Structure 1
Amino acid sequence: MSTPPAQPAAPGHPAPARTVSATSGPRPLVPYLATTGRILRQLRNDRRTVAMILVVPALLMTLLYFIYQDVPVAPHQPVSLFDRVGMSMLGILPFIVMFLITAIAMQRERTSGTLERLLTTPLSKLDLLGGYGTAFSLAAAAQAAVACLVSFGLLDLDAAGSPLWVVIIAIVDAVLGVALGLLCSAFARTEFQAVQFMPVVVAPQIFLCGLLVPREQLPDWLQVISNVMPLSYAVDALHEVSVSAEPTGLMWRDLGIVAGFAAVALCLGAATLRRRTV
């Protein structure tokens, strides 16, 4: 049934109030969801990136399995080398992959002018960061699930705790990689320069996280440096899962520290989201 047009108000009488449609109000989630959908569509259309996210970590874990397959277990070691190193790599690989992808993707947004145009729209920095974080977190969740499925289901990786906790820690590590990649992209002018941050930001954390040498066996000054690197706490959290059947207080503490580092890096990354032209 059609609504008759409003009649003009008579002289000396106030005009009738207009009826505001319920759908014309502000919709704060629309920009955030639009940004998330745009990033996910870009990832879906980039098959090489999808393969890097989903396939490469599983292949590297398979390679690691064959490397340690015939290595005998030392009498003083409670677990095999593959179980010890593989558990740590389930947290390290998502961190590395998501750092690279995010740094390159955000730098591409900057150099192509997409970020410049987005910042001239009503889209807020929170919507932009939230969209990136959500999209890449979903990708990280899929990556962690595939890597853990291959490791625990096909490669017989053994842990005292539930593989679900390994997946959760791996996702948090991947979000940390997203946050640091977003932050580092602000200091690069090209995609090649963004990749160059990997040996500066990522490699020292791999060397000092306890993967190569237990952190308590490092020289004192290296232990101090290791204590301020978030990947050290991610590896410690995974170690707690590997030796304890139930979540421990140390695991929760280490996981919280990693999440805190990611939040700080995202806040610093937000400060870099500014227009370069006036």
Structure 2
Amino acid sequence: MTPRRTLATAGRVLTQIRHDPRTVVLLLVVPSLLIGLVAWLFDDTPVFQQIGPAMLALFPFIIMFLVTSIATLRERRSGTLERLLSLPLSKLDFILGYALAFGLLAVLQATIAATFAVAVCGLEIEGSLGLLLAVAVSDAVLGTTLGLLASAFARTEFQVVQFMPAIVFPQVLLGGVLIRRDEMPPVLEAISDWLPLSHAIDALNAVATGSEDDGYVVGQLLILAAFAVGAIVLGSITLRRRTQ
């Protein structure tokens, strides 16, 4: 891995995205709009206060997963990746460059979404706002890294969408949005312990309600970081030069 090449890859990706206003809107604005829609839907009820932290985990995670996986796949389908790897650029440089570029966008996205949820939608936070932002950003970065991993296996954009039921939907269903994880059947609760989104939702709920101390939230952040690093390493190992 060469930091200069990684940074050059990240800069190229950010330049491409800057010239695509629709992608910028999708990344930075749509999650906040969806959170606002949920808040409006449950206006004058306590429901948004209960599910708001989970929404702050779900929408950025899903959007970062989709955009990152499709953008990376297009690099392979267009032959760009093959040309880049013919230069002194390793697969790890490529993956890290993409992770850095979309990670920076994830920081902006999560910061905007969290600020919007608290300041505009009225989500009440009993814990630290700094920890709330840290978890929201880690969750969005996690969506980015899992998107990079999925793109290594997909051959078409349609196959990326097919990964949604396999990678994203189980995490949504077992993450504690529909029912508390400790109220699930024991087998499903055990499975949910191995799903990264569950830990993001648990951490956001803990910060929102103040039900756990900061040490618990930091522990969940470390788990999210481990999943993200694992996805990057596995993605760099399995990435193919081009799609046949």
After TM superposition, the score normalised by the length of structure 2 is: 0.94
The CA distance in 2 between the partners of 1:273 and 1:185, in whole Å, is: 8
| Paired positions, count | 242
1:203-242 map, 5 Å:
203-242=169-208
Match of 1:131 among 80, 97, 101: 97
Q: Secondary structure at the match of 1:50?
A: helix
Which of 50, 65, 75 matches 2:24? Answer: 50
The equivalent of 2:139 in structure 1 is 173
Equivalent in the alignment of 2:8? 34
Structure showing greater radius of gyration is: 1
Q: 8 Å contact 1:162–1:245 — kept in the other structure?
A: no
1:150-205, CA deviations, whole angstroms, 9 ceiling, x for partnerless residues? Answer: 11111111011122222211111111111111111122111111121112110110
1:245 deviation in Å? 8.7
CA contact (8 A) 1:103 1:195 kept: no
Structure 2 distance, partners of 1:187, 1:245, is 39
Partner of 2:87: 121
Determine the structure 1 residue equivalent to 2:42. Answer: 68
Relative to structure 1, the CA distance from residue 245 to residue 161 in structure 2 (aligned partners, 3 Å threshold; closer, same or farther) is farther
- The 3 A distance-change label for structure 1 pair 275 and 108 is closer
Give, in whole Å, the separation in 2 of the partners of 1:138 and 1:122.
24
Structure 2 residues not aligned, in runs of 5+: none
Which letter does structure 2 place at the counterpart of 1:59? L
Helix, strand or coil for the counterpart of 2:89? coil
Task: Give the alignment of 1:84-123 within 5 angstroms.
Answer: 84-123=50-89
State the match for 1:252 in structure 2: 218
1:184 aligned residue: 150
Structure number with the higher helix fraction is 2
> 1:268 and 2:234 equivalent?
yes
What's the Cα RMSD here?
Answer: 1.6
Q: With CA pairs under 8 Å and 6+ residues apart, which has the higher RCO, 1 or 2?
A: 2
Can you give the 5+ residue segments of structure 1 that lack an aligned partner in the other structure?
A: 1-27, 72-79
Match of 1:59 in 2: 33
Q: Could you tell me how far 1:246 is from its partner in structure 2?
A: 8.3
SS of 1:213's equivalent? Answer: coil
